[in-house]
Chains A and B, each alone.
Chain A
Amino acid sequence: MASPSTTPLLKDELDIVIPTIRNLDFLEMWRPFFQPYHLIIVQDGDPSKTIKVPEGFDYELYNRNDINRILGPRSSCISFKDSACRCFGYMVSKKKYIYTIDDDCFVAKNPSGEDINALDQHIKNLLSPSTPFFFNTLYDPYREGADFVRGYPFSLREGVQTAVSHGLWLNIPDYDAPTQLVKPLERNARYVDAVLTIPKGTLFPMCGMNLAFDRELIGPAMYFGLMGDGQPIGRYDDMWAGWCVKVICDHLGLGVKTGLPYIWHSKASNPFVNLKKEYKGIFWQEEIIPFFQSAVLPKECTNVQKCYIELSKQVKAKLSKVDPYFDKLADAMVTWIEAWDELNPAGGSAKLANGSA
């Protein structure tokens, strides 16, 4: 097994957030890469169950009782019986960066057979600029061995700050239930050696399985919505966050990268169970996407929280007619921001250099 680099990058500036209901055995495989970092475990499901964390990890663990205690009535915005609860971890973190990973994701190997330090690659992605205003055909120009191609305007070569690094998955790909049902045996075996910035104005499906972000730049927008117990929908938590995040990043001039690193996704969830969860989402998505594609944020929205509150108003105004769920979701979005601001008082909270609060 590969050993980590001598000084782990951002050791004291990054938290690893892991939602779980089962166990954390998968951490053993990640030990060489994760052990230097602080973990935030968000335990979903039955709080009376004890989740065993492997020896030697520095962590804090929150179960449902903790979430209720810390947030009080505002805990209603945190999902129950769904990995969407992980966003509670983002809220309580005190670090600049977050890496979140599912407990069925393992270390993958690159084409040379070496173990991939996914965390390392995410950090590289976040610490180098993005290029959302002009597509570079050789992908991330800041990677070693690459650069901007002929015709790429020099004035755009400084890039913008990267807010999100979206990684991918070998083995079980992140397909929806209908696709899983039609292609139960398909495995992602293609290692695409690229990182690229998703252009401004383009939406994408953000998967929360292998995701890193700059909490100071975009944290308040990473709300994973109302899913799971008592909700009409599931498996759209990360999608919802991704659409909000992309609209806000586009508005604030921040970048979103996708591509490397790969992790090895080992568990294929039950497609019939998934279908029940996703069912409404498949229809609602047809309304949701045009909503986000046409969402415009006024220039007075100069920080993430303002953008997010404004989005919640637009959700209430335009999506409530699709289903009353969106009314509840819009309220939950506001509750989330209130909770975020309470746990992250100004001075440490995300604010961009525009001056006014």
Chain B
Amino acid sequence: MSHSNIYIKDDEIDIVIGALRTDLTAFLNDWRPVFSRFHLIIVKDPDLKEELKIPEGFNVDIYTKSDIDRLVGSSSILFYGYSCRYFGFLVSRNKYIVSVDDDCFPAKDKDGSLVDIVAQHAANLTTPATPFFFNTLYDPYRKGADFVRGYPFSLRSGVQCALSCGLWLNLADYDAPTQALKPEQRNSRYVDAVLTVPARALMPMSGINIAFDRELVGPALFPALRLAGEGKLRWETMEDIWSGMCAKVVCDHLGFGVKSGLPYVWRTERGNAIDSLRKEWEGVKLMEEVVPFFQALRLKRTTVKAEDCVIEVAKEVKEQLGKVDPVFGRAAEAMVDWVRLWRAVGSSSS
């Protein structure tokens, strides 16, 4: 009734890693049991000077500053730091992308087994999402679950899931003020659930552990909001949060689903929250401005493609938020530029 296990082939998936550190040996060796079957796209942060260290045995394509410069040419988009991964999204020719930060390692589930994030993200993306009515037993397509009494039958076929947002054990994705206030706090709670984030509900989409259907929403994940003090720690960025809020609006408009929950990754310690507090403050302030904007944002009924949705959102951002802070005006420009790039470089698939 509710289980549709569509198996996807390994060659439909790209694993995209933005490398913010040069030595990926430990990272890739730890992920080897999960990643080795798949094609990897590794994009080196253009700010990194040394060569990447990558262990043998992976099917990998590496992209560096020169590739980015050559393909992108002049653009308002900056692919530095965490934004480098988006270049990987651009050049991928596969339907599904899984992307994790390079300071994340495989987690163990409640039974002590290694979490295969690719399998879980794939399951999330290939089973329907249910954004129009909340199922109290969470994802009804998971084994051992179903729709509960009172769930309308007409809504039980669900919609396509375009985005799968995973979570993090150990160092959760807190902002700097939160982590600075609770320096010892680590996330040890394994919540065994996947759920669809309801339509029109806003959420902060963390880029640390995500997967998406590139064909459905590729254009809607972009590097656009760049903080003046953006740095090389997640505490010092907002680009993924911004991109995710736009992506959610686009998904809601186009009738696609966004899931959140499993899989977990194990996120390692990096940086000092208190040091980041100075830079993070800017991001925190900006979020206050954007919430009412996104809550009210409605796209035209005639806009039916993801890339056109992005153009429309960019226009609204420029008009309504541009005067609030120049960073939004620049973000709007970058979004338009991204769609241009996507159409030129990114839109073909194998």
Q: Which of A151-184 contact B (CB under 8 A)?
A: 151-156, 166, 168, 173-176, 179, 182-183
Given contacts A134-B202, A135-B202, A188-B137, contact A242 B150 (CB under 8 A): yes
A-B contacts, 29 of them at CB < 8 A, read: A133-B291, A133-B295, A134-B202, A135-B198, A138-B172, A145-B185, A145-B187, A146-B187, A146-B189, A149-B172, A150-B178, A150-B234, A151-B287, A154-B288, A174-B149, A175-B148, A176-B147, A179-B149, A187-B144, A188-B137, A193-B190, A193-B191, A199-B200, A200-B201, A201-B198, A203-B134, A204-B134, A235-B149, A289-B133
State whether the Cβ of B15 lies closer than 8 Å to any Cβ in chain A: no
Write the residues of chain B forming the contact surface with A, with a CB cutoff of 8 angstroms: 1, 110, 132-138, 142, 144-155, 165, 167, 172-175, 178, 182, 185, 187-193, 197-206, 234-235, 238, 241, 244, 260, 283-284, 287-288, 291, 295
Query: What is the interface of chain B mostly: helix, strand, loop, or mixed?
Result: loop
Taking a contact as CB atoms under 8 Å apart, the answer to whether A190 and B144 are in contact is: yes
Could you count the A-B residue pairs with CB atoms below 8 Å apart for me: how many are there? Answer: 181
Q: Shortest distance in angstroms between B264's beta carbon and chain A's nearest beta carbon? A: 11
Q: Shortest distance in angstroms between A125's beta carbon and chain B's nearest beta carbon? A: 14
Write the residues of chain A forming the contact surface with B, with a CB cutoff of 8 angstroms: 111, 133-139, 145-156, 166, 168, 173-176, 179, 182-183, 186-194, 198-207, 235-236, 238-239, 242, 258, 278, 282, 285-286, 289, 293
Taking a contact as CB atoms under 8 Å apart, the answer to whether B133 and A202 are in contact is: yes
Taking a contact as CB atoms under 8 Å apart, the answer to whether A198 and B197 are in contact is: no
**5 closest A-B pairs (Cβ-Cβ)?**
A151-B204, A205-B150, A199-B201, A151-B241, A202-B198
Give the distance in Å from the alpha carbon of A111 to the alpha carbon of B175 in the complex. Answer: 31
Taking a contact as CB atoms under 8 Å apart, the answer to whether B175 and A138 are in contact is: no
Q: Shortest distance in angstroms between A268's beta carbon and chain B's nearest beta carbon? A: 12
Q: Shortest distance in angstroms between A205's beta carbon and chain B's nearest beta carbon? A: 3
Q: Shortest distance in angstroms between A206's beta carbon and chain B's nearest beta carbon? A: 8
Q: Shortest distance in angstroms between B212's beta carbon and chain A's nearest beta carbon? A: 16
Taking a contact as CB atoms under 8 Å apart, the answer to whether B151 and A201 are in contact is: no
Give the distance in Å from the alpha carbon of A204 to the alpha carbon of B151 in the complex. Answer: 8
Q: Shortest distance in angstroms between B199's beta carbon and chain A's nearest beta carbon? A: 8
Residues from chain B with a CB closer than 8 A to the CB of A202 are: 133-134, 198-201
Q: Which residue of A lies closest to B190 (CB)?
A: A193
Q: Shortest distance in angstroms between A272's beta carbon and chain B's nearest beta carbon? A: 15
Q: Which residue of A lies closest to B131 (CB)?
A: A202
Residues from chain A with a CB closer than 8 A to the CB of B146 are: 173, 175, 179, 183, 186
Give the distance in Å from the alpha carbon of A153 to the alpha carbon of B294 in the complex. Answer: 12
Residues from chain A with a CB closer than 8 A to the CB of B284 are: 154
Residues from chain A with a CB closer than 8 A to the CB of B288 are: 153-155
Taking a contact as CB atoms under 8 Å apart, the answer to whether B173 and A179 are in contact is: no
Residues from chain B with a CB closer than 8 A to the CB of A151 are: 175, 204-206, 238, 241, 244, 283, 287
Residues from chain B with a CB closer than 8 A to the CB of A175 are: 146-149
Residues from chain A with a CB closer than 8 A to the CB of B136 are: 166, 168, 174, 204-205, 207, 258
Contact with B193, one of A134, A192, A198, A204 (Cβ below 8 angstroms): A192
Taking a contact as CB atoms under 8 Å apart, the answer to whether A147 and B178 are in contact is: yes
Taking a contact as CB atoms under 8 Å apart, the answer to whether A153 and B187 are in contact is: no
Taking a contact as CB atoms under 8 Å apart, the answer to whether B204 and A149 are in contact is: yes
Give the distance in Å from the alpha carbon of A207 to the alpha carbon of B283 in the complex. Answer: 40
Residues from chain A with a CB closer than 8 A to the CB of B192 are: 190-193
Given contacts A134-B291, A202-B133, contact A173 B182 (CB under 8 A): no
Taking a contact as CB atoms under 8 Å apart, the answer to whether B206 and A137 are in contact is: yes
Q: Shortest distance in angstroms between A151's beta carbon and chain B's nearest beta carbon? A: 3
Residues from chain B with a CB closer than 8 A to the CB of A258 are: 134, 136
Given contacts A138-B167, A149-B172, contact A186 B144 (CB under 8 A): yes
Q: Which residue of B lies closest to A196 (CB)?
A: B195
Taking a contact as CB atoms under 8 Å apart, the answer to whether B133 and A204 are in contact is: yes
Taking a contact as CB atoms under 8 Å apart, the answer to whether B137 and A173 are in contact is: yes
Give the distance in Å from the alpha carbon of A154 to the alpha carbon of B142 in the complex. Answer: 34
Taking a contact as CB atoms under 8 Å apart, the answer to whether A199 and B198 are in contact is: yes
Taking a contact as CB atoms under 8 Å apart, the answer to whether A285 and B152 are in contact is: yes
Residues from chain A with a CB closer than 8 A to the CB of B174 are: 147-150
Taking a contact as CB atoms under 8 Å apart, the answer to whether A135 and B203 are in contact is: yes
Q: Which residue of A lies closest to B200 (CB)?
A: A201
Taking a contact as CB atoms under 8 Å apart, the answer to whether A137 and B187 are in contact is: no
Q: Shortest distance in angstroms between B260's beta carbon and chain A's nearest beta carbon? A: 5
Given contacts A155-B288, A166-B136, A190-B145, contact A286 B187 (CB under 8 A): no
Q: Which residue of A lies closest to B238 (CB)?
A: A151
Give the distance in Å from the alpha carbon of A199 to the alpha carbon of B132 in the complex. Answer: 11
Q: Shortest distance in angstroms between A96's beta carbon and chain B's nearest beta carbon? A: 25
Q: Which residue of B lies closest to A147 (CB)?
A: B178
Q: Which residue of A lies closest to B196 (CB)?
A: A202
Give the distance in Å from the alpha carbon of A261 to the alpha carbon of B333 in the complex. Answer: 48
Give the distance in Å from the alpha carbon of A293 to the alpha carbon of B149 in the complex. Answer: 18
Given contacts A134-B291, A135-B197, A151-B175, contact A207 B149 (CB under 8 A): yes
Q: Shortest distance in angstroms between B227's beta carbon and chain A's nearest beta carbon? A: 12
Residues from chain B with a CB closer than 8 A to the CB of A190 are: 142, 144-145, 192-193
Given contacts A150-B206, A151-B238, A182-B1, contact A192 B152 (CB under 8 A): no
